[in-house]
């Protein structure tokens, strides 16, 4: 290791690259990275992330730098990284962790290596809140619930960590007024800003006047969280074919909004929350080159 370089290594694999050192700013615009990290921790405490996740500061800047601008994105693709470089961004907050699978080598021979090396070379800070942002009260999953209707909800299960109470991923939403599928569909499309979603109706729900009362939700790929949850309807981004069939066999209908579309609409809300905390010292921007890779043709 070179001086000033601190590698956090878990089980011999590289998950986080931290090259920042304690830094105090003098007469410079912006906010120290440590203050931004505190704000992010307030908005989505990392203790709320699932055990399998890889959240927090994943790439630290090579040299101490004040943070004057943050680019928000769902995914850190090369296009988003290039946008960050064009915009002279200091920090990227990528909802999905850009480093997730263990990295054994960092070279330019593969896309992930090129992305990480270029971010390091550009002296960027890269942070991911992922499932911490899903789980927190008022976070992404609660926002998804709002898209279905008014009611009471609770997490699908509790994360077993000390000091975080009964918080956990997914929500079981009991609607105040049972709703027709057409109503839920219209509300969800409007809420998520999407034109299409995919529906699978279980036999008991094929009558058009069926009303749904209990809805289980999970943003992104919801199969593992929704599995075995008793509800009338599952709402998530994507599910495998056989998981949809299993739900139908259990009398549960399914609405799939597509992975990124079930998450991206929360970014403007997260941006406003950040702006309220950070004030005018830091410019926040939603990446324009961040979009779902799949299209209906």
Distances (CA, A) of 17 to 13, 180, 209: 11, 49, 54
Q: Where are the beta strands (DSSP E) in 106-197?
A: 125-128, 151-155, 171-180
- Alpha-carbon gap, residue 125 to 104, rounded angstroms: 21
Is the CB of residue 90 less than 8 Å from the CB of residue 67?
Answer: yes
Q: What minimum distance in Å lies between the beta carbon of 130 and Zn ion?
A: 8
When the beta carbons of 65 and 259 are compared against Zn ion, the nearer one is 259
Residue ranges in 217-276 that form contacts with Zn ion under rule CB under 5 A? 220
CB of 172 to Zn ion, least distance (A): 20
Give Cβ neighbours of residue 118 (< 8 Å, ≥ 6 apart).
78, 81
Rounded least distance, CB 274 to Zn ion, Å: 19
Give dist(CA 169, CA 179) in Å, integer: 24
Q: Which is nearer to Zn ion, 186 or 240 (CB)?
A: 240
User: CB neighbours of 199 closer than 8 A, spacing ≥ 6?
Assistant: 181, 185, 253, 254, 255, 256
Minimum CB separation from Zn ion for residue 263, in Å?
5
Binding to Zn ion in span 147-166, by CB under 5 A: none
Q: Per CB under 5 A, does 129 bind Zn ion?
A: no
Smallest gap from residue 260 Cβ to Zn ion (A): 7
Of 32 and 219, the one with the shorter C-beta distance to Zn ion is 219
Q: Which is closer to Zn ion, CB of 66 or CB of 220?
A: 220
# of chain residues touching Zn ion (CB under 5 A): 1
**Between 170 and 220, CB nearer to Zn ion:** 220
Residues 6+ apart with CB under 8 A from 77: 115, 289, 290
Tell me which residues in 193-222 interact with Zn ion (CB under 5 A).
220
- Contact residues for Zn ion (CB under 5 A)? 220
């Amino acid at each position: 290791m070179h001086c000033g370089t601190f590698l956090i290594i878990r089980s011999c694999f590289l998950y986080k690259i931290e090259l920042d050192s304690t830094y105090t700013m003098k007469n410079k615009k912006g906010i120290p990275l440590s203050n931004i990290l505190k704000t992010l921790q307030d908005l989505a405490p990392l203790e709320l992330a699932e055990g399998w996740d890889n959240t927090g500061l994943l790439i630290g800047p090579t040299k101490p730098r004040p943070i004057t601008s943050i680019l928000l994105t769902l995914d850190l693709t090369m296009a988003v990284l290039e946008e960050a470089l064009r915009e002279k961004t200091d920090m990227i907050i990528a909802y999905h962790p850009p480093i997730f699978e263990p990295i054994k080598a960092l070279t330019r021979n593969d896309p992930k290596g090129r992305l990480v090396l270029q971010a390091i070379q550009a002296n960027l800070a890269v942070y991911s809140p992922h499932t911490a942002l899903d789980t927190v009260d008022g976070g992404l999953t609660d926002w998804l619930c709002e898209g279905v209707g008014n009611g009471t909800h609770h997490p699908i299960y509790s994360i077993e960590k000390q000091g975080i109470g009964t918080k956990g991923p997914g929500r079981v939403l009991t609607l105040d007024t049972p709703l027709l599928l057409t109503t839920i569909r219209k509300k969800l499309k409007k809420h998520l800003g999407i034109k299409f979603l995919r529906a699978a109706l279980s036999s008991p729900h094929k009558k058009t006047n069926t009303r749904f009362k209990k809805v289980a939700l999970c943003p992104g790929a919801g199969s593992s969280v929704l599995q075995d949850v008793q509800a009338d309807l599952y709402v998530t981004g994507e599910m495998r074919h056989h998981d949809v069939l299993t739900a139908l066999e259990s009398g549960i209908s399914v609405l799939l909004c597509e992975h990124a579309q079930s998450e991206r609409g929360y970014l403007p809300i997260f941006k406003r929350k950040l702006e309220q905390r950070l004030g005018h010292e830091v410019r926040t921007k939603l990446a324009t080159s961040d979009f779902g890779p799949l299209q209906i043709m």
